[in-house]
Amino acid sequence: MYSTIASAAVCGMEIVMVHVEVDIAQGLPGFILVGYLSSEVKEAGERVRIALKNAGVTLPPMRITVNLSPAHIKKGGTAFDLPIALGILKALGELPPESTEGILAVGELSLNGTVNPINGVLPLVKKAKEEGYLRCLVPEGNRQEGRMIEGMDMIGVADLDEAIAYLKTGRIPEEQNTSCGEREEAIQGDFQEIVGQGAAKRAAEIAAAGFHNLLLVGPPGSGKTMIAKRIPGILPPLTEEEKLEVSSIYSVAGLLSHSHTLISCRPFMNPHHTITAQALVGGGKVIQPGMISLAHKGVLFLDELPEFKMNTINLLRQPLEEKQVRIVRLEGSYAFPADFMFVGAMNPCPCGYYPNMKRCHCTASQIRRYQNHVSGPILDRIDICAGIAPLELKQLEGKIGQEDSRTIRKRVIKARQIQEERYRHRSYCCNALLPQKDMEEFCRLEKAEKEFIGQAYTRMEMSVRAYQRVLRVARTIADLDGQEKISKLHLAEALECRMAGEGYWERRM
């Protein structure tokens, strides 16, 4: 007696189709699971056997062999419990042979037969649709999440009895009353609340318009964190494709709730400086996305940047360039998306008041050691550096007339629309992702502009990467101005964006 039923395994963000094969034969009674399995999958044998017993199905004293194919892919998690149970019932003749055709099944079983929710249903259903499956049999708690993928019939079952009844009769279980919606993240504050700091707010606007990386440098209490936390409020809204992409990451991480199954606002991740390297980039015994992947299409904000371990900060070098992080283990390689806008904030020295020598009591070696926590390669990957000075009393009194986030966001959206139209036939959609091979086409300079940027390149001793980032920022500034050509003014402001915090550093960016 042989049967097979379709399921799937989550390997990082990649979904691998798995065929659950069941063979029941005469011989020494036993329950054998094979197919390169993790410990939690191996334990499925006992969960399935007892769940079937409590559902009124007694297994015969025969040899039951279950194979999860392909065997070279390691399978983890508890999502195979339900398809294993259904495969056994089908092999025993308890289910019609055609009942599982065109169905992908996933779910964890409790000992009493309850089907518990699992992680990663959203990308699982998306993969099933791509593979041509028509229906997905999932836990009731995951039904709403799976419905975010259009064109798929989602069959939610609360227990094993409902799953058996559906496959025998085709009667869809009654849906439970669960609310479904998008997760609306509260925007933290408005730019209108920030007094003064016009240059820093302009830098944040440029960064948001081109999705550029930003570093805010200044003394304590000058508004660095306030500005950073308000950046999501001026970013363009997520597209429908981006919502599904971000929500899939949160689904794999188990961070989607039953009532909010779609991320609709750009993520804002603000880890503490004690975060481990593994928590930042992902990994672990059970491979999970890290903080940089949870910030995908949003903002990763590292406050008090030099307080992070230097090795931890340097882990960002590859993701900032490649927009993904790849984790390699003995059992395989896992890739997680990491297309985030990096925003850092830092004091210029341990006490925070350098270069104001009236208040700063740090020695030159202390300042240098503190600043060296942020390595040159990381600084080279930051497009914009904004210096923030302490406010004077008269600036605190001039609160009227400050621009709000809504006004700034309109300009940012307009600039993004220009970029999307320009790059509509490319694999990227914003200036920060503009590759070197396309710069000659989209960042073309006239003779006077070439001479201007050439002089700056020599004077500032820029690296090639820094030079290209200045051009990308200048392209964004031109887009904010609605100009097709990059002028000297745009280049000058882009250079100023890179040099604005130079007075705080003992070396140039």
∠ CA 341-344-348, nearest 5°, is 160
Confidence of residue 27 (pLDDT cuts 50, 70, 90): confident
What tokens appear for 269 in the block?
A: 């991740």
Contact 230, 113 (CB under 8 A): no
Task: Look at residue 231 and tell me if it is in a domain.
Answer: yes
pLDDT tens per residue across span 360-414: 889 989 998 998 889 888 988 899 999 888 776 666 665 555 788 999 999 999 9
**Angle in degrees, 0-180, between the axes of helices 81-91 and 160-169, rounded to the nearest 10:** 50
What tokens appear for 230 in the block?
A: 């308000």
User: Which helix or strand (DSSP H or E) is residue 53 part of?
Assistant: helix 44-54
pLDDT of amino acid 509 = 40
- Residues 198, 158 share a domain: no
- Residues 143, 206 share a domain: no
- Residues 61, 137 share a domain: yes
Residue 237 has pLDDT above 80, yes or no: yes
Choosing from 384, 408, 427, the residue where a domain stops is 427
Helical spans, DSSP H, in 211-316: 224-230, 240-252, 277-281, 291-294, 310-314
b/e map of 24-49 (b: 16 or more CB within 10 Å)?
beeeeeebebebebeebbeebbebbb
Q: What's the whole-number mean pLDDT along residues 83-103?
A: 93
In whole angstroms, give the CA distance from residue 189 to residue 196: 16
- Residues 279, 213 share a domain: yes
Residue 507 has pLDDT above 80, yes or no: no
Residue 9 has pLDDT above 90, yes or no: yes
- Residues 125, 196 share a domain: no
- Residues 416, 353 share a domain: yes
- Residues 91, 46 share a domain: yes
Give the count of domains, the chain: 2
Task: Look at residue 508 and tell me if it is in a domain.
Answer: no
- Residues 91, 35 share a domain: yes
∠ CA 389-480-304, nearest 5°, is 35
pLDDT tens per residue across span 115-129: 999 999 999 999 999
Strand partners, 31: 64
Task: Look at residue 223 and tell me if it is in a domain.
Answer: yes
CATH of the domain at 359: 3.40.50.300
Q: Give me the DSSP letters along 248-296.
A: HHHHHTT---SS--EE-S--EE---TT--HHHHHEETTTTEE-HHHHTT
Task: Look at residue 106 and tell me if it is in a domain.
Answer: yes
Choosing from 368, 400, 427, the residue where a domain stops is 427
CATH of the domain at 64: 3.30.230.10
User: Which helix or strand (DSSP H or E) is residue 77 part of?
Assistant: none
- Residues 206, 310 share a domain: yes
pTM for the whole structure = 0.89
Contact 174, 197 (CB under 8 A): no
Choosing from 373, 394, 427, the residue where a domain stops is 427
Task: Look at residue 500 and tell me if it is in a domain.
Answer: no
**Angle in degrees, 0-180, between the axes of helices 198-210 and 405-422, rounded to the nearest 10:** 30
Q: How far from 197 is each of 113, 387, 454, 495, CA to CA, in Å?
A: 61, 9, 30, 19
In whole angstroms, give the CA distance from residue 137 to residue 77: 17
| Domain that includes residue 40, residue range | 2-169
- Residues 273, 138 share a domain: no
CA dihedral 25, 27, 29, 35 (to 10 degrees): -60
Task: Look at residue 492 and tell me if it is in a domain.
Answer: no
Task: Look at residue 253 and tell me if it is in a domain.
Answer: yes
Task: Look at residue 490 and tell me if it is in a domain.
Answer: no
- Residues 253, 127 share a domain: no
Q: Please indicate whether residue 173 or residue 155 has the higher confidence score (pLDDT).
A: 155
Least confident of 267-271, 282-286, 486-490: 282-286
- Residues 136, 195 share a domain: no
